[in-house]
């Protein structure tokens, strides 16, 4: 059975591995989470400014491998880094998985002047939304209405917690997936 929407995040562990986490739901507001799990892989690329995707894609591939057909992926970060379309992590995810991607960044990036600021839960600090495969205004509206009473939508908060080591509560019969 495939799920419709996925929120993902990656954490780098002291062991030299990366843990990616996924939270899946049938609707883009993530009001009812269907499943969550993690996957760990060795870190294969050092951090290089402007090439963050080289580190993030392998763990994201591992955690998304069992997700089934998706219609949306939400990433913690930017889809593109400027109005000219300089690709960020989300653009590479969009290109690789051929589904719409929403990027939700917690901090402003100076060249991402096209990002739409979204205020959630009465916060004074906006989130910065970018997108590929769907209109940017639609992506911003989706982020504004995603489940959660905090600045960051619950699905991304949970993906972050899982990536950092929180225990998954379930995944169609298994707690987690540890890739090699």
Is residue 179 predicted with pLDDT exceeding 60? Answer: no
List the beta strands (DSSP E) in 13-160.
17-25, 33-42, 72-76, 101-105, 116-118, 127-132
For residue 75, which of 122, 7, 16 has the smallest C-alpha distance?
7
At 91, the pLDDT band (50, 70, 90 cuts) reads very high
Task: List, in order, residues 6 or more apart from 14 with CB less than 8 Å away.
Answer: none
- Give the Cα separation of 28 and 152 in Å (integer): 15
Q: Is the dihedral of CA 165, 121, 77, 145 positive or negative?
A: positive
- Residue 159 per-residue DSSP state: H
Q: Using one digit for the tens of pLDDT, what is the confidence trace for 115-138?
A: 999 999 889 999 999 999 999 999
pLDDT top residue among 49 and 8: 8
pLDDT of residue 170: 58
Answer yes or no: are the C-beta atoms of 3 and 35 closer than 8 Å. yes
Confidence of residue 168 (pLDDT cuts 50, 70, 90): confident
CATH 3.30.2170.10 fits 5-164, yes or no: yes
Would residue 57 be called left, alpha or beta, if left means φ above 0 and alpha means ψ between -120 and 50 degrees? alpha
pLDDT in tens, 28-76: 999 999 999 999 999 877 666 666 666 789 999 999 998 999 999 999 9
Report the alpha-carbon distance of residue 143 to residue 156 in Å, rounded: 10
Q: Which two tokens stand for residue 111?
A: 């060249």
CB 104 within 8 A of CB 37: no
What whole-number distance in Å separates Cα of residue 56 and Cα of residue 159? 14
* Residue keyed to tokens 């997936």: 177
**What is the predicted pLDDT for the residue at 113?**
95
pLDDT (average), residues 13-24: 94
For the chain, how big is the Rg over CA atoms in Å? 15
């Amino acid at each position: 059975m495939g799920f419709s929407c996925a929120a993902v995040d990656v954490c780098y562990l002291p062991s030299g591995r990366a843990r990616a986490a996924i939270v899946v739901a049938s609707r883009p507001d993530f009001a009812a989470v269907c499943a969550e799990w993690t996957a760990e892989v060795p870190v294969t690329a050092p951090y290089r400014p402007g090439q963050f995707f080289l580190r993030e894609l392998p763990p994201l591939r591992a955690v998304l491998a069992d997700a089934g057909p998706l219609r949306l992926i939400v990433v913690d970060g930017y889809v593109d880094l400027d109005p000219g379309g300089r690709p960020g992590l989300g653009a590479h995810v969009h290109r690789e998985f051929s589904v719409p991607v929403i990027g939700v960044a917690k901090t402003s990036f100076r060249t991402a002047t096209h990002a739409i600021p979204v205020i959630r839960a009465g916060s004074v600090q906006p989130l910065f939304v970018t997108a590929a495969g769907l209109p940017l205004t639609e992506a911003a509206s989706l982020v504004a209405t995603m489940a959660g009473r905090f600045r960051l939508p619950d699905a991304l908060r949970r993906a972050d917690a899982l990536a950092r080591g929180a225990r998954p509560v379930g995944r169609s019969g298994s707690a987690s997936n540890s890739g090699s």
